[in-house]
């Protein structure tokens, strides 16, 4: 009897596992098929063209791609140093009594739905940016800052976890040679945890680049490449969120699908690099 239950269990879990793979393949196929019209109409120009004019049936994705890349880059530049600082504090400097409450608060922050970061950004951040830089207060810079704040808790928590895997005996060996706390952090802990740290940064990057709700309100949805990071701009997910309901022609619809296909490819690549290259080692530990 228990044998039969085991068999049933084994088979059903296998079916569930395979259906996950199937869903991934299915999503890829759907996105690809729906992109075909746009791919045939624009070819490679779709990625390099800067003009996005639905009324002229002209679709160039470069502003959206650039917007995604630049806002994510800004977010990383702002978030990485702070996340490393927070992680160092949590793993090496904070007194034992503080480690756990601060650590838990950071994990809670990481669980806040991104739409809340978006609303908070719109109502509290946009006015600040407007006061400082003038203009509308929406654009790449605001999006970058909101994204940075959004990915920071995750990054800090995972970086701390990676640092915590450094064996005590290794740290003690450096102290035993006359190292200071700072020496041990920079020479032992960071190099030891490097792969895990970089991996978590890349995972955060993957999350930032695909983020929709946190930036939809603060980006502007303007398909224009501007030298000023304070000018309204757009990104791939922002375009998708704003324009699917307006897509009144086949080609418009298909172009949006091609955008989403590009986004999927970017995210997939980033997450694969993080998982299979950098996080391989820490997994084992």
Partner 1 sequence: MATIINIPHEKALEVKDFQFTYNGTTEPSLKEISMPIAKNSITALIGPSGCGKTTLLRSFNRMHDLYPGNRYEGLIEFKGRNILEPKEDLIQLRTCIGMIFQKPTAFPMSIYDNVAYGLRLQGIKNRSELNDRVEKALQDAAIWKEVSSRLKHDANGLSGGQQQRLCIARAIAVEPEVLLFDEPTSALDPISTQGIEKLVIELKEKVSIIIVTHNMQQAARVSDYTGFMYLGELIELGITEELFVTPKERLTEEYITGKFG
The footprint of partner 1 (CB under 8 A) covers 95-96, 167, 169-180, 183, 187-188, 191-192, 194
Beta carbon of residue 155, minimum distance to partner 1 (angstroms, whole number): 22
3-class DSSP assignment, residue 180: coil
Please state the closest distance from residue 159 (CB atom) to partner 1, in A: 17
Q: Could you tell me the smallest distance in angstroms from the CB atom of residue 96 to partner 1? A: 7
Task: Tell me how far, at minimum, the Cβ of 205 lies from partner 1, in Å.
Answer: 24
Q: Which residue lies nearer to partner 1 by CB, 120 or 192?
A: 192
Q: List 233's β-bridge partners, or say none.
A: 220
In this complex, which beta carbon is closest to partner 1, that of residue 147 or of residue 184? 184
Question: Can you tell me whether residue 53 is helix, strand or coil?
Answer: strand
Q: How far is the CB of 199 from partner 1 (least distance, A)?
A: 16
CB of 267 to partner 1, least distance (A): 31
For 110, what's the count of Cα atoms within 13 Å in the CB-facing half-sphere?
A: 17
Nearer to partner 1, 81 or 167 (CB): 167
Closest among 191, 180, 178, 200 to 277, alpha carbons compared: 200
Q: How many CB atoms lie within 10 A of CB 181?
A: 14
Task: For partner 1, give the closer residue by CB, 184 or 262.
Answer: 184
As a whole number of angstroms, the distance between CA 81 and CA 34 comes to 40
Nearer to partner 1 among residue 160 and residue 171 (C-beta): 171
Take residue 126 and report the two structure tokens written for it: 């946009």
Instruction: Let me know the angle formed at the C-alpha of 113 by 228 and 102, rounded to the nearest 5 degrees.
Output: 95
Asked if residues 150 and 114 have their Cβ atoms less than 8 Å apart, the reply is yes
Tokens (6 digits) for 154: 């995750």
Tokens of 67: 């917007």
Tokens for 5, please give them.
């239950």
């Amino acid at each position: 009897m228990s044998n039969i239950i085991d068999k049933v269990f084994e088979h059903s879990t296998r079916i569930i596992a395979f259906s996950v793979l199937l869903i991934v393949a299915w999503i890829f196929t759907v996105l690809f098929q729906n992109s075909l019209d746009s791919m045939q109409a624009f070819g490679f120009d779709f990625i390099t063209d800067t003009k996005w004019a639905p009324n002229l049936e002209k679709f160039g994705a470069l502003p959206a791609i650039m917007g995604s890349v630049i806002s994510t880059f800004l977010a990383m530049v702002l978030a990485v140093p702070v996340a490393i600082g927070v992680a160092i504090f949590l793993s090496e400097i904070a007194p034992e009594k503080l480690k756990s409450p601060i650590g838990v608060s950071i994990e809670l922050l990481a669980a806040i739905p991104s739409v809340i970061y978006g609303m908070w950004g719109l109502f509290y951040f946009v006015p600040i940016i407007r006061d400082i830089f003038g203009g509308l207060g929406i654009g790449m810079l605001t999006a970058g800052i909101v994204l940075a704040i959004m990915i920071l808790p995750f990054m800090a928590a995972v970086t701390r976890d990676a640092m915590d895997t450094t064996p005590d005996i290794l740290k003690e060996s450096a102290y035993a040679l006359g190292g200071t706390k700072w020496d041990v952090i920079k020479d032992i802990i960071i190099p030891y945890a490097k792969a895990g740290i970089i991996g978590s940064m890349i995972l955060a990057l993957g999350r930032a680049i695909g983020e929709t709700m946190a930036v939809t309100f603060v980006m502007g949805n303007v398909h224009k490449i501007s030298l000023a990071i304070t000018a309204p701009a757009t990104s791939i997910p922002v375009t998708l969120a704003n324009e699917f309901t307006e897509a009144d022609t086949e080609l418009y619809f298909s172009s949006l699908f091609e955008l989403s296909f590009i986004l999927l490819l970017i995210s997939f690549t980033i997450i694969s690099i993080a998982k299979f290259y950098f996080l391989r080692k820490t997994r084992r530990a």
